[in-house]
Chain A
Amino acid sequence: MTEKTVEHLDTVTIRFAGDSGDGMQLTGNRFTSVSALMGNDVATLPDFPAEIRAPAGSLPGVSGFQLHFADHDILTPGDEPDVLVAMNPAALKTNLDELPRGATIILNSDAFTKPNLKKARYDSDPRHDGSLDGYRVYEVPVTELTIGALEDVDLSKKAKERAKNMFALGLMSWMYSRPLDPTVEWIESKFAGAPEVAAANITALKAGYNFGETTELFSHRYDVDPASDLPPGTYRQITGNQAIAYGLVAAAERSGLPLYLGGYPITPASDVLHELARHKNFGVRTFQAEDEIAGVGAALGASFAGQLGATVTSGPGVALKTETIGLAVAVELPLLVLNIQRGGPSTGLPTKTEQADLLQAMFGRNGEAPMPVVAASTPGDCFDTALEGARIALKYRTPVFVLSDGYLANGAEPWRIPDVQDLPDLTELPAFVAPPEDGEPFEPFTRDPETLARPWAVPGTPGREHRIGGLEKAAGTGNISYDPDNHHHMTQMRQGKVDRIAHDIPPLEVGADSDADADVLVAGWGSTAGPIKAAVRRVRAQGHKVARVHFHHLNPMPANTGELLGRYRKVLVPEMNNGQLSFLLRARYLVDAVGYNRISGLPFGSGELADVIVEQIRAAEQDPAGAAR
């Protein structure tokens, strides 16, 4: 065995691709966890079909997992993979287009059989017809080597074959100098009930690693140092769905209210329900309802009863919940509506990402039904966004939309673990109405002069019995009222309450990575934060000047928004929709926002965005008189 050269890299993007049944998500997740544990910055992009098991070997059945890890702060899961691990011809075919020439391809040569080539719609074997010219191709008989390594194991051939993803993980772990121990421990605990399966997986993992070590195929292995430019602190890896669930638990703990989550299974939001169902020791009630409507109905009932009511869903679910959300606006109770957005319209692309529900959140209700909207920008930020949503909901007694999306939900990143003591203290916000001193009447629709919030009197409080509902209520008493002036007044109160929040949120600030004398401002919201930041980094590295701003509060927007936007000659708004934030900015601030809109179900690449930004910078240069306003 020859000692292999170790080459230092500062950043690597790997894509694992295989059949839905090949365990590629798991492989990618394990590689990510280990990389995170090694101190690399990581960003991930799982990409899987909506079908649980499309026909094996078929093109629609391909499941992929891309991860980007580096010795520095990274912002996206990487535009183009450096390495593709393809477990079958279909995986090669669906991913080859996105692979730059010169990239490395590791193929499971055992899967390149005639039937598989046919299923992948290859007329000839791409390994031999020149399709892979310009790539560094390594053919590894992964299936055969896995089965060989498990010769002595008492499992069916099929079961043995299933461990081939562990072989691939072992091989990649060798190639990128990742330790096996954390994965071995993980396998042991995951298959605690099936020791023979655990043993088979561990053997396959080690076999893959040893194969890399001994084979003549590879002359090099690589190493990526820990990221040193992350802010100091203790880190863990977290996905957006985990973070949003933790944010809800934190909001409950910090407000002293029990959390009540009413939900219904829907991709990509179900994991939030699953995660919360595991934390009943926090007093978390999770209710899987008969439908989306009942999920939010129960959550609103729980809010009425004095708990922190929340519901989690995706766009189609929001459509169903709309009437109840309107009711929450009318009865002015706190409620969190978490929308993990996915491709639409209708059923759309359940497993792909999109940010096209912003205007649904803004306007998707009958009547004047204003609602605060906040949006998360990274997986870790889902935590803070859920907490902020809860703060607004409790303080202003209003339903709040918390927007995330499929990319954030399933994507993972290192997360600096906050100190619980530093989290916002929400204990003062519920402020339940106490029983009255003798005879004092209770008016459920009087308002706090500062927030315009109404009092929250929960059942069980003697002397505060009252009735609320979706019919218009008289200011003060809350009795049913059809009075014209009262309706106008109440409509303005509900609007004014939401408007006031603009002064209770941080002002909009350009990112630290912005040039003070830039002409072009890139404005984003939601999960485009990473790609936009990465693009701005590229553009500035090319010597251009640009500024960047990211909206966390979409309704209301910070009070200084108009002023800030007005400072720039051009405002570019990249969105994974047809211009929903642009629409709002144009309508509210009369800004001639330019959209960059691509709705592909995938996050933006930073290279693609950088080109668009440079285009706008050039346009601004050529039109020195132009101004955004």
Chain B
Amino acid sequence: MSDVQTLTRKDFSSDQEVRWCPGCGDYAILNTVQGVMPDLGLPRENIVFVSGIGCAARFPYYMETYGFHGIHGRAPAIATGIASARPDLKVFVATGDGDALSIGGNHLIHAMRRNTNITILMFNNQIYGLTKGQYSPTSELGKVTKSTPQGSLELPFNPVSVALGAEASFVARSIDNERQHLADMIKRAADHPGASFVEIYQNCNIFNDGAFDAVRKNVPNQIRLEHGEPVRFGEHGQHGVVMAGHSELEVVDVADAEPAEGETLGVQRRLVPAEDLLVHDAHRDDAGLAFALSRLAHTPVGPTPIGLFRQVERPEYAEQMQAQLDDARLRKGSGDLQSLLTGNDTWTVGAEPSTNGHGGDGSA
């Protein structure tokens, strides 16, 4: 076992040359992930990165851990096999919006529902990068690409909403260039027992540059969710979120808060006292509030929540699978192959004394 205490970021960097386009947001994510690894307190050999196809899917090659670069969309399936076969391993999935939400949508939702111990890092760049720029399931409606010269006709997925709908027990969102925040989300996701999902806004500077500028460059638009804290944002926390009507949320201005330069509070939005702001509760049984928060911004063009939307405790799949094996052993004893093959009803032909009868209990 490698000495867990002395591991550093460098120990997690493989000897492979990183081949993303210069300026790609993936670099920052890779760096952050490598930086988080030593903090997990796990031996390197117990970590596995699994991926599908796409720019993001090259990720495992750059990690000095075990890695499996799979096929398009199937990473959650392969990861489920690894994680459920070997509960002692820490399994990550590095995926993209096309890989996870289009071709692999079925595996993604079931991995989250099943709650196997897998940390899914979904790099959302709202475009197909590796195949050179077609619209993806998260591209905004009307997106003009090579495959949609007149604009795409499809409403995009909101990945956080999808994850919440799929019963994920850990759902978070972060941004490639927000190193501290991203590291924090990844660490918490990795520590979560069960399936965890982190959507990471990732800039593809080649095919979809600036897709997230509204939150990536415009930091005051980041609605940073903190459990137990009022949902507030803006340079001075001058904006916030309140409950309005039936499970709807409303973005408001906070009374008595300091406005940004040139801004007058209470003009475009309702002015609401600070104590009326919604207090975020990431651990509620009911996913409704987290879902409502995810709907504040269907695509990140204005104020958009990032951070931990939801984290609840649910039985983890591999652990339960193991418990069933243990229980079967307890009830029936460790399997005895001979008695399994023999079964209950046997008869004898030839030399041995003819005994029609019952033997073994293997098939019970």
Contacts and interface: CB of A to CB of B under 8 A. Distances in A.
B204 interface: no
Interface in B24-70: 43-48, 50, 60-61, 63-70
Nearest to B46: A460
Interface stretch (A152-160, A170-178, A304-312): A304-312
A300 interface: yes
Contacts of A367: none
A37 B356 contact: yes
Nearest to B66: A459
Contacts of A235: 346-349
A304 B346 contact: no
Contact of A294 (B80, B331, B340): B80
B192 to A, nearest CB: 20
Given A279-B340, A417-B342, A293 B77 contact: yes
Contacts of A614: none
Contacts of A459: 45-48, 66, 82, 86, 89
Interface residues of B, number: 67
A283 B341 contact: no
Interface stretch (B174-182, B292-300, B322-330): B322-330
A301 B80 contact: yes
Contact of B2 (A278, A462, A466): A462
B266 interface: no
A249 B342 contact: no
Contacts of A281: 325, 328-329, 331-335
A515 interface: no
B311 interface: no
Interface in B75-91: 76-86, 88-89
A461 B45 contact: yes
Given A285-B321, A305-B86, A467 B67 contact: yes
Contact of A290 (B47, B65, B106): B106
A470 B48 contact: no
Contacts of B333: 281
A52 interface: no
Contacts of B346: 234-236, 417
Nearest to A470: B71
Contacts of B79: 301
Contact of A36 (B46, B80, B347): B347
A232 interface: yes
Interface residue range, chain A: 35 or more
A231 B352 CA distance: 11
A324 B1 CA distance: 32
B156 to A, nearest CB: 23
Contacts of B1: 462
B148 interface: no
A470 B337 CA distance: 36
Q: Which of A38, A182, A418, A462 has the most CB of B within 10 A?
A: A462
B268 interface: no
Q: Which of A280, A461, A467 has the most CB of B within 10 A?
A: A467
A102 B148 CA distance: 72
A305 B81 contact: yes
B340 A246 contact: yes
Interface stretch (A108-116, A222-230, A499-507): A222-230
B67 A253 contact: no
A272 to B, nearest CB: 14
B66 A293 contact: no
B261 interface: no
Nearest to A230: B349
Contacts of B351: 232
A287 interface: yes
Given A305-B89, A324-B71, A459-B86, A467 B328 contact: no
A287 B45 contact: no
A122 interface: no
Contact of A420 (B77, B341, B348, B350): B341
Q: Which of B335, B349, B351 has the most CB of A within 10 A?
A: B349
B131 interface: no
Given A233-B349, A290-B106, A459-B48, A285 B341 contact: no
B107 interface: yes
Contacts of A282: 334-335, 337, 340
B337 A250 contact: yes
A246 B341 contact: yes
B338 interface: yes
B110 interface: yes
B210 interface: no
A468 B68 contact: yes
B16 interface: yes
Contact of A300 (B47, B65, B81, B337): B81
A1 B76 CA distance: 71
Contacts of A309: 81
A39 interface: yes
A470 B74 contact: no
Contacts of B259: none
Given A232-B350, A249-B340, A460-B89, A301 B332 contact: no
B220 to A, nearest CB: 40
Contact of B86 (A289, A306, A327): A306
A231 B325 CA distance: 37
B337 A297 contact: no
A278 B107 CA distance: 26
A72 to B, nearest CB: 12
B14 interface: yes
B142 interface: no
A419 B342 CA distance: 9
Contact of B81 (A39, A278, A299, A464): A299
A588 to B, nearest CB: 30
Contacts of A249: 335, 337, 340
Given A234-B352, A465-B44, A480-B61, A298 B347 contact: no
Contacts of A463: 2, 45
A466 B66 contact: yes
A616 interface: no
A559 to B, nearest CB: 32
Contacts of A246: 340-341
Q: Which of A236, A253, A419 has the most CB of B within 10 A?
A: A236
Interface in B299-328: 321, 324-325, 327-328
A315 interface: no
Contact of A293 (B63, B74, B338, B363): B74
A335 to B, nearest CB: 11
Contacts of A351: none
Interface string A366-380: 000000000000000
Given A250-B341, A459-B89, A465 B66 contact: yes
A474 B331 CA distance: 49
Contact of A280 (B61, B325, B343, B349): B325
A318 to B, nearest CB: 16
B341 A280 contact: no
The 6 closest A-B pairs by CB, nearest first: A232-B350, A301-B81, A469-B69, A297-B77, A298-B81, A282-B335
10 contacts: A233-B349, A260-B85, A280-B327, A281-B331, A285-B325, A298-B78, A302-B82, A459-B46, A470-B71, A471-B69
Given A279-B340, A469-B61, A469-B68, 9 more contacts: A228-B349, A234-B348, A234-B349, A246-B340, A289-B110, A290-B110, A297-B70, A297-B81, A304-B68
